[in-house]
Amino acid sequence: MSLIDAARAVRENAYAPYSNFKVGAALRTPDGTVFTGINVENVAYPEGTCAEAGAIAAMCAAGAREIAEVAVIADAPSPVPPCGGCRQKIAEFAGPDVVVTMATTDGATLSMTVAELLPGRFDVSHMDRT
């Protein structure tokens, strides 16, 4: 199963009663393990949590710490990129050359590297004073 297919399948489980904007995400680790996530809204936080953050949390909960590839899908007129917070979360676990594929339920796709999605990303080197 492709990452887009995994994201598409999990997207159906998104909890979006306020926006009705369901998002699914899937990521693959270097060993081939796939983790998925969905957006989850609630009355106190109707913007909800992001699908990418959910997939990263599942990866971390399983003890993995490196992303090799990411896919995100939504029912939108054009491919939807991860929000700024999720871009930084992805960058925490993925190298600058890791590909993030964004897709629509109609089949349109756009692929970019982490470096393209988040130029000038903050990383641990910014804290190095030696």
Binding residues for Zn(2+): 50, 83, 86
Annotated catalytic residue, options 47, 52, 69, 92: 52
Q: Is 104:76 a contact under the CB 8 Å cutoff?
A: yes
Q: What is the dihedral of CA 10, 89, 28, 69, to 10 degrees?
A: 110
In angstroms, the CA 108 to CA 88 distance is 24
Residues in the annotated binding site for substrate: 39-45
Catalytic residue list contains 92: no
- Positions at the binding site: 39-45, 50, 83, 86
Which ranges constitute the DSSP H helices of the chain?
A: 3-11, 51-61, 84-93, 114-117
Residues identified as active-site: 52
